[in-house]
A and B are shown apart, each in its own frame.
Chain A
Amino acid sequence: MSGKGMVGGALRVKGLSVADGPRWVARDFDLEVKPGAVHMILGERDSGKTALLRTLAGLAREERGSISLGDAVDAGPRVRRRAARFITHERGLTHLSLLSRLLLARPPRRLGMLIHGRRGLEHALALAKRVGLEGLLEAPVEALRPLERRLLDLAAALDDSPRALFLDEPTSELGPHEARHLLHVMKAVAREDRIPIVFTSTWARDAYPDADQITILWRGQDPVTVDAAQVTESALIERWTGGSPRRSPTGPHAPGDSLLRVEDIVLEGRGRETSLAGAAFEVRSGEVLVIVGAPADGLSLLHEVLLGQRAPSRGSIQFLGKEMAATDRRQRVDAGISFVNPPHARDQSLSHFTVEENLILGQTRRGPFSRRGWLKFESIRGNAVRSLADFEIPEARPRDRFDLLGLGFRQRIVIAREVLRNPVLLVARSPVQGLGLEAQEYVRKALVLQCERGSGLLWLTEDPEEALRVADRLAVLAAGRLVWLPVTETLTREAIIDEMSGHAA
């Protein structure tokens, strides 16, 4: 399955115009992705990356322009759909084993009807070997780590001998070291099969070291394509965000009382997810503690434990001296803990509700927004007006529908709601993921400011860069345990990534 017999060809786009609903994603866009090249489309969430990728893959019709794939000049959507493979995060088929999943599309057959067992196994093994999953053929898909699932998606797509591959945000659930590994495999596949690979990402770092070119989408402006070899990552971020990257005024924060004490938390991971093996830490008043790690290395588990969704099998969680391990999220919120999740999280806002309704979510059981069970509309409206002014969201009005706002503004509203509760402890999980740099800076400042008012801030993230920007203390979650790193001027992103991947000296 080395793909030597495959007909490779470049992806050529000329004068392409793509619309995503009422807005233009690209107009008169030209692009060439050579065989064997990996091309990244970079942009914040809702910037139209997926719409552009779907159009290139033939899943959506272009408004104007031509797209050629190999020898298929000016290929229509149907031709592109047949020739290329579009890979998104597949949520179904999790009950299958990896072997069955790989044989799903084209199982070798005997007499045209029966599946040929031996040849099927060889075929699946060959596909799995290409992405390094040959040791997991019998494992159920639901037990795989996110990286392994992405690799499996890639291997399954290769079964069709595609002439191009399109991957929609393949690194969104991965730690930086895992993302690098995936992109390295993608690069190897592109080279071996002489096919173009295009993927989307919200992380500028994903371009390095394996992408050849990057197309930048930024807030309705015309897409710009640059060579990865000719721009540094910071220059890329600057071009992407329309401004220079700045560092937040992070502190130092005066250490204070202990707010949250987590001791020797043990919790078994699902499937091949790394278990928590005795994580212990303490969050103090007025400090930002950052725990950085890949979601599958225990970060998601730790987050679920803190949210009260899963109870640890061993260990304790003490908040203000009171044991909270067996309490649910509601009790924790009532005790003074607030949670801010990634902007795209479905559990922290109501898209079809109004801004003012989202600003009082979970706060109507007692004053000031309700009295004897009835809502106080004046208070609710006043709260919305004040919050929108305080958090600099001039374009929104209290009665506007929440989902009509940009992602950055939506996250500001969520933070406004949580901060206005004046929580004792804020637990933030990747709160700036997928936002433009400007919005990222704002969200960071808003959270850190709350910390400076005396709250504790526990920041869980998979992004080392983000960790460096806000941390007073920093720990890396690797193999289910915390490794503490001193936050100094010399601490680098690479050092954190090495620690995450277990390659630290």
Chain B
Amino acid sequence: MIPGRVRAGWGPLLGNVAVFLLLAAGSQLLAPGPVSWDPTTWSWSWSEGILVLVNLLFLGLAFVVPLHGGVLNLGVYAEFLAGLTVASVIGSVASIDPPVRALLAVLGGAMAGALVGSLMVWMKRTFAVHEVLSGLLFGGALLPLAREMPAPALGVGPQSVLAWGIILLILGVFLSLVFAHFLRASAPGLDLRVVGRNPLAAVAAGVNVDAVQLWTLASGGACAGIVGALGLTTQASTVLYWPLPLAFAGITIAVFGLGSVRGLFLSSIFFAVWLHEPGTAVVLSDPGLSTLIAALLVIPVLWTLPRLHPDQGAPRAVWRTRHRETY
């Protein structure tokens, strides 16, 4: 049993497929002016497509990894902003070679995101501040700082961006596969599943719940931080076009993927393709239609998220701040 994964038959899967088809077909149909239905005629930038896919995959991981430990990471946006800020600072140091600068920016962004995630767990453990609240607060606090950051020119060409995108995509896929195998087959993975499903039983079984939640949220934060660092590349249309706040991109990907790592990967691909439909960009630029699409993206939450929650008496494990109570 994997807590973050939906196990409720075919209903949620079919529902998600129906919503996605409606979204994809609706974007084409509602777009004003003639749009082509032939994918071979669509203008397609490989580097941008791969970067969008990487962004979506890492944002999904940022939400799904903590969710398996019973932590609701609504601080994805804060972690993204932290990653973006630190990457901007590193990117503006002109004395470092561009390739090294890009590498450092990605690493720095990941570390900054992980730090924000760790701070959220620390606040939860020390001051009983729920991670949802601290995540939103950090997001609000970091936004002005991120806005003030100048957009540095990394000095890397399109080929380098594509190379970086491919490297990060391989890394994302590798991490997803490793995480799925880790959950299923390792003793710490079992501990993580126990924490996600029933923290009281985890405490009783001798699992250090705080430590597990710390590393899951730090890992999720690192994934969001990488997306933040990628935000320096202007090609990343996820940031530009996504109709909801960026944190919700991760939630949407996780929800459409039914919380499983395989589903996460598939939904990332589907949404990356959808974002490159010629009708999508037109539709998303229209406020009314954009709102409609945002509503469609939210709908699957209704039947998926309640089933994603660890139970042990409804969503207690997620909503309760502390796990130190008796039965």
Chain A nearest CB from B324 CB (Å) reads 7
**In the complex, are the beta carbons of A309 and B187 less than 8 A apart?**
no
Chain A nearest CB from B190 CB (Å) reads 6
* Least CB separation from A403: chain B residue: B311
**In the complex, are the beta carbons of B1 and A347 less than 8 A apart?**
no
**In the complex, are the beta carbons of B185 and A375 less than 8 A apart?**
yes
Q: Does any Cβ of A come within 8 Å of B160's Cβ?
A: no
* A345-B327, A364-B191, A374-B186 known; A357+B1 contact, CB < 8 A: yes
Q: Does any Cβ of A come within 8 Å of B43's Cβ?
A: no
Query: In chain B between 190 and 218, which residues have their CB closer than 8 angstroms to a CB of chain A?
Result: 190-191, 193-194, 197-198, 200-201, 203-207
Query: In chain A between 330 and 383, which residues have their CB closer than 8 angstroms to a CB of chain B?
Result: 330, 333-334, 339, 341-342, 344-354, 357, 360-362, 364-365, 369-370, 373-375, 377
**In the complex, are the beta carbons of B197 and A375 less than 8 A apart?**
no
**In the complex, are the beta carbons of B311 and A351 less than 8 A apart?**
yes
Chain B residues with CB under 8 A of A347: 198, 200-201, 203-204, 326-327
Q: Does any Cβ of A come within 8 Å of B312's Cβ?
A: yes
**In the complex, are the beta carbons of B1 and A375 less than 8 A apart?**
no
* Other-chain residue from A330, A333, A352 in contact with B1 (beta carbon distance below 8 A): A352
Chain B nearest CB from A227 CB (Å) reads 37
Chain B residues with CB under 8 A of A307: 326
Chain B residues with CB under 8 A of A375: 185-187, 190
For chain B, the count of residues having a C-beta within 8 Å of the partner chain is: 25
Question: How far is it, in angstroms, between the C-alpha of A369 and the C-alpha of B205 when the chains are bound?
Answer: 15
Q: Does any Cβ of B come within 8 Å of A498's Cβ?
A: no
Query: In chain B between 312 and 327, which residues have their CB closer than 8 angstroms to a CB of chain A?
Result: 312-313, 324, 326-327
**In the complex, are the beta carbons of A346 and B187 less than 8 A apart?**
no
* Other-chain residue from A333, A341, A369, A401 in contact with B327 (beta carbon distance below 8 A): A341
Q: Does any Cβ of A come within 8 Å of B158's Cβ?
A: no
**In the complex, are the beta carbons of B201 and A348 less than 8 A apart?**
yes
* Other-chain residue from B187, B197, B311, B313 in contact with A364 (beta carbon distance below 8 A): B187
* Other-chain residue from B190, B194, B327 in contact with A346 (beta carbon distance below 8 A): B327
Chain A nearest CB from B39 CB (Å) reads 41
Q: How large is the interface on A (under 10, 10 to 19, 20 to 34, 35 or more residues)?
A: 35 or more
Question: How far is it, in angstroms, between the C-alpha of A390 and the C-alpha of B181 when the chains are bound?
Answer: 32
**In the complex, are the beta carbons of A362 and B197 less than 8 A apart?**
no
* Least CB separation from A377: chain B residue: B185
Q: Does any Cβ of A come within 8 Å of B11's Cβ?
A: no
Q: Does any Cβ of B come within 8 Å of A329's Cβ?
A: yes
* Other-chain residue from A344, A349, A374 in contact with B187 (beta carbon distance below 8 A): A374
Chain B residues with CB under 8 A of A63: none
Interface residue SS majority, chain A: loop
Chain A nearest CB from B148 CB (Å) reads 43
Chain A nearest CB from B75 CB (Å) reads 27
Question: How far is it, in angstroms, between the C-alpha of A377 and the C-alpha of B190 when the chains are bound?
Answer: 12
Chain A nearest CB from B16 CB (Å) reads 22
Question: How far is it, in angstroms, between the C-alpha of A365 and the C-alpha of B191 when the chains are bound?
Answer: 10
Q: Does any Cβ of A come within 8 Å of B150's Cβ?
A: no
Q: Does any Cβ of A come within 8 Å of B188's Cβ?
A: yes
Chain B nearest CB from A160 CB (Å) reads 28
**In the complex, are the beta carbons of A364 and B190 less than 8 A apart?**
yes
Q: Which of B193, B205, B327 counts the most A-chain CB atoms under 10 A from its CB?
A: B205
* A373-B186, A374-B185 known; A350+B197 contact, CB < 8 A: yes
* Other-chain residue from B193, B200, B204 in contact with A362 (beta carbon distance below 8 A): B204
**In the complex, are the beta carbons of B197 and A353 less than 8 A apart?**
yes
* Least CB separation from A331: chain B residue: B206
Question: How far is it, in angstroms, between the C-alpha of A329 and the C-alpha of B326 when the chains are bound?
Answer: 12
Chain A nearest CB from B209 CB (Å) reads 11
What sequence of 0s and 1s flags, for each residue 249-287 of chain A, a beta carbon within 8 Å of any chain B beta carbon? 000000000000000000000000000000000000000
Chain B nearest CB from A394 CB (Å) reads 23
Given contacts A351-B311, A354-B1, 5 further A-B contacts (CB under 8 A): A347-B198, A350-B198, A352-B197, A353-B197, A374-B187
A-B pairs with beta carbons under 8 Å apart, 22 shown: A300-B326, A304-B326, A309-B324, A344-B327, A346-B201, A347-B201, A347-B203, A347-B327, A350-B198, A350-B201, A350-B312, A351-B198, A351-B312, A352-B197, A353-B1, A353-B193, A353-B197, A357-B1, A361-B201, A361-B205, A373-B188, A374-B187
